[in-house]
Amino acid sequence: MRTVFVLLLIVLCSAAWGQSVLTGKVTDPAGEPLIGAAIVIHELDKGTITDVDGVFRFENLRSADYHLHISYVGYEARTISAHANEGDLITIELEPTSLELSEIVVESNHYKTGPKEHTLAMEIIDMEYLKSNRKGTLVNSLEDLPGVNAINTGVGISKPVIRGMSFNRVIVNDKGVKQEGQQWGTDHGLEIDMFEPGRVEVVKGPGSLMYGSDGLGGVLNIFPPSLPDPGTHRGSVQSIYKTNNQSISTSTSLEGNFDDKVYRLRFSTQDFGDYRVPATTFNYNSFNLPLYNNQLKNTAGNERNLTAMVGLKKNWGYSTLTVSNFHQTAGFFVGAIGIPRAYQLTPDGDDRDMDLPQQEINHFKIISNSNILIGKNWLEMDIGYQNNYRQEQSNPHAHGKGPRPEGTMAHALRLQTFSLNARYFKKLSERHSRIVGVQGQQQFNSRGGFEFLLPDYTSSSIGAFVFEEFSFQRKVTATAGLRFDYANRQIEAFEEPIYDDENTIARYYQRNAAIDADFYNFSGAVGLSYYPSRAFNAKWNLGTSFKVPTTAELSMNGIHHGTFRHEVGDSTLTSERGIQGDMSVSYQKSNFSVVVSPFVSWFDGFIYLAPTASFSSSMDPDAFPEGGQVFQYRQNNAFFAGGEFAAEYHPIEEIHFRVAYEYVYNYNLDSKLPLPFTPPASVYSELQYELEPSLPWVEGINVGVSYKRVFDQNRVDRNERTTPGFHLLGVNLGSHLEFNGFKPEIVLSAQNLTNTRYFNHLSRYRLLNLPEQGRNFVISLNIPFAIK
């Protein structure tokens, strides 16, 4: 934070405070003014609306280049560049549209360009979409987007998959800072409050240039809602109830602006019981085991999440400080650790309690975000501190001849992360702009508990990049960039005592040796976007990407009970390199749009966890008497290809139809087999009907039906299960009400309406032959309010 305030002081003391204005007029194609159109200055997060003549005006601005977002219901949103001057009027024309996503103002914070200029495939999701698609976690709320999937553990833990890649190949940035929380583990979810995001950017394809290591599959950028305008104080109360596991979720928020001093508070809760599946038995390892009352025992949990933000919002930019704490306690199905036994599955009379095994996660974050005008250019800076503390509790068991462990703490992993990201945006000419950036990160990990998976370690990384953007004749945008990164892994050795009897130590078994490894990487990308008209847009991007081996991949050596295997790292792993190309061709009219996005990638030294034919007892029977199957981290060359197709059609303004298809193909070029954890192909479609009944207290009603077809997944790695396809049907009914200025929103929906018994290929419980959640009715209520 000290760095931020020093920079602010420099700006305030040294910059010229020229007072400029920015005025414009918003019209339709016929030249008629649009009254009440929303105009937002991106860099200042400052907004206004047009008057009765369609005119807007921003005063007391510093002379600089700004990006304006213009939106109006029923019209296509636009992003334009404008310069604050002495008052020249600019005219902005909006095109009519029936497509909801076209009404969203879309500009990437990191690339500073609008949707047509982007050369990477990207989807930008607003708060309205998130509110109407809540599914227990933020990642599950994005599953119906083409190219996006989730790896699940039950119903409260999920992690993102983009184009078949997950774990440390997908970056999640929360308010500009990379989320860090032991994301290498299948059973480790994303510690994000699902009510908090105001906008989510899904970047598909190589993100290493702008975001660094781990951006091979894609990036999720999570942004908070826009800062309120001066004199505005507002909030909301949201509540969700789900019948399947009697889940009750609430979130209360309050935000405001006192003379450019902004604040935001949010407190969210979730409490859920054991969830139900459309099955009374399941088969594991040739044993047929019961599921009483169709429930998975010990899958209950709860969350308590708190976020507080304060900041300044001035004509030099803005600076905010956000403090948040995510806390979750969740039970694991009683057969999720070790071999399930029938006696463990007997009901205990309380489907909301949490017994062993279970995990407790606390993720504390402090994030500083600043956007500062320096001269006529902009400096963005994100500084973060994260403390992720994960405790996994299970019943202790004897290891060989040694003493029985005391307590139930199997793992206690504490990961502390310090982050700094800075980006300087410089407009060199009307057609040429540049971004220069630097990123740094320092991590400290400590372990505890009677089990061993990961040693203590320190990790450091720093990277710098330059990104150039050129535009030609308002039809073509070309981009190019280069990046250099350095990373260091310092991993402490760990030796485990081996006993002759309960008290005598005979020798020590080295789980991992000490490692001090340096990694250097260059990467680059070039892209092109062609938009000869508003209807057509073609994009092409070719980039190199990289991933530095994680500590888990280098040094893990232990039985990971939550994944039913013994996982072993490899200290000789080198950086993973990739060459990735993708395209996107889109055509859009006022009531119809279609997008096709193919991609192809080749990876040198692709790191993955491979099953072997050996068992841990063969490594050292005294250290590992349990004999779990060994999974070894390996490197092989790999090939990825696939794509997404999406279309949206409004035959009339009230009817909305959308269909999306996704497919991922991958191939291990050395083993000649597919790679594990590959999502199957799927088709998602929805039909929505909007009507405005002639009732004084109803503003609108939305009725819809959705259908998802997931195909068989028979392309699997050695010792990985195939998974049959399935069909899912859902319905929803939503309404916006109004009672004398009181405007609640209510949504009723049914998920898996036909109570289909199906398996999710990416679910960790798939290993136990456990089906997914059955029929689920959901009631969602949102009550916004304003304070005068």
Q: What is the pLDDT of residues 676-700, one digit of tens each?
A: 889 999 999 999 999 888 788 888 8
| Residues paired with residue 751 on neighbouring β-strands, in sequence order | 776
Q: How many CA atoms lie within 13 A of 108 on its CB side?
A: 21
Domain ranges across the chain: 2-96, 121-243+273-314+325-786
Give the least confident one: 41-55, 235-249, 381-395, 635-649: 41-55
Give the least confident one: 186-195, 356-365, 366-375: 186-195
pLDDT > 70? residue 3: no
Give the least confident one: 122-126, 444-448, 603-607: 122-126
Q: Residue-wise over 262-301: b if at least 16 C-beta within 10 A, else e? A: bbbebbbbbbbbbbbbbbeebeeeeeebebeebbbbbbbb
Listed residue (470, 424, 369) closest to 113, CA to CA: 470
pLDDT > 70? residue 87: no
**What CA–CA distance (Å, rounded) separates 432 from 203?**
23
pLDDT of residue 532: 93
* pLDDT tier, 119 (very low <50, low <70, confident <90, very high otherwise): confident
pLDDT > 70? residue 221: yes
pLDDT > 60? residue 105: no
**What CA–CA distance (Å, rounded) separates 616 from 626?**
7
Burial of 68 (0-12, 13-18, 19+ CB in 10 A): buried
Residue 690 neighbours by CB distance under 10 Å: 16
SS3 618: helix
Q: Taking residues 238-251, report their average pLDDT.
A: 95
pLDDT > 80? residue 4: no
pTM assigned to the model = 0.91
Check if the beta carbon of residue 633 is closer than 8 Å to that of residue 553: yes
> Which residue did the predictor score with more confidence, 120 or 257?
257
pLDDT > 70? residue 138: yes
Give the least confident one: 279-293, 345-359, 551-565: 551-565
Q: Residue-wise over 14-49: b if at least 16 C-beta within 10 A, else e? A: eeeeeebebbbbbbbeeeeebeebbbbbbbbbbbbe
Residue 577 neighbours by CB distance under 10 Å: 20
pLDDT of residue 12: 44
Q: Taking residues 396-403, report their average pLDDT.
A: 72
pLDDT of residue 468: 95
pLDDT of residue 18: 53
The topology under which CATH files domain 2-96 is Immunoglobulin-like (2.60.40)
> Which residue did the predictor score with more confidence, 74 or 532?
532
For residue 191, which amino acid is it?
E
pLDDT > 90? residue 604: yes
Listed residue (347, 354, 313, 314) closest to 332, CA to CA: 354
pLDDT > 80? residue 651: yes
pLDDT of residue 6: 45
pLDDT of residue 208: 78
SS3 396: coil
Listed residue (156, 45, 155) closest to 107, CA to CA: 45
Residue 289 φ/ψ, nearest 5 degrees: -115, 150
- At a CB cut-off of 8 Å and minimum separation 6, what does 418 contact? 384, 385, 441, 442, 443
Check if the beta carbon of residue 276 is closer than 8 Å to that of residue 757: no
Write out pLDDT tens, residues 250-271.
999 999 999 889 999 999 999 9
**What CA–CA distance (Å, rounded) separates 4 from 618?**
55
Neighbour order of strands in the sheet with 65-71: 46-49, 38-41, 65-71, 78-83
Q: CA-CA distances (angstroms) from residue 509 to 11, 505, 620? A: 58, 11, 9
Look over the chain and give the mean of its residue pLDDT values, rounded to a whole number: 88
For residue 772, which amino acid is it?
E
**What CA–CA distance (Å, rounded) separates 337 from 354?**
15
DSSP β-ladder status, 261-272 and 281-284 = unpaired
DSSP β-ladder status, 89-93 and 20-27 = parallel
Residue 508 neighbours by CB distance under 10 Å: 12
The topology under which CATH files domain 121-243+273-314+325-786 is Maltoporin; Chain A (2.40.170)
pLDDT > 60? residue 401: yes
pLDDT of residue 343: 79
Alpha helix ranges (H) inside 86-161: 127-132, 138-141
pLDDT of residue 79: 82
Q: Taking residues 361-375, report their average pLDDT.
A: 95
> Which residue did the predictor score with more confidence, 307 or 164?
307
Q: Taking residues 467-494, report their average pLDDT.
A: 94
Give the least confident one: 139-143, 219-223, 397-401, 769-773: 397-401
pLDDT of residue 110: 57
pLDDT > 90? residue 334: no
pLDDT of residue 264: 96
Q: Taking residues 632-652, report their average pLDDT.
A: 94
Q: Residue-wise over 651-686: b if at least 16 C-beta within 10 A, else e? A: eeeeebebbbbbbbebbbeeeebbbbbbbbbbbbbb
* pLDDT tier, 11 (very low <50, low <70, confident <90, very high otherwise): very low
State what percent of residues in the chain have pLDDT above 70: 93
pLDDT > 50? residue 5: no
Structure tokens at 393: 């509790």
**What CA–CA distance (Å, rounded) separates 399 from 295?**
32
Q: Taking residues 564-593, report their average pLDDT.
A: 90
pLDDT > 60? residue 15: no
Give the least confident one: 99-108, 228-237, 380-389: 99-108
pLDDT of residue 62: 86
For residue 220, which amino acid is it?
L
Listed residue (76, 77, 70, 80) closest to 112, CA to CA: 80
**What CA–CA distance (Å, rounded) separates 531 from 243?**
47
The answer to whether the Cα torsion of 617, 621, 623, 625 is positive or negative is positive
Q: Taking residues 404-410, report their average pLDDT.
A: 87
**What CA–CA distance (Å, rounded) separates 52 from 34?**
8
pLDDT of residue 692: 83
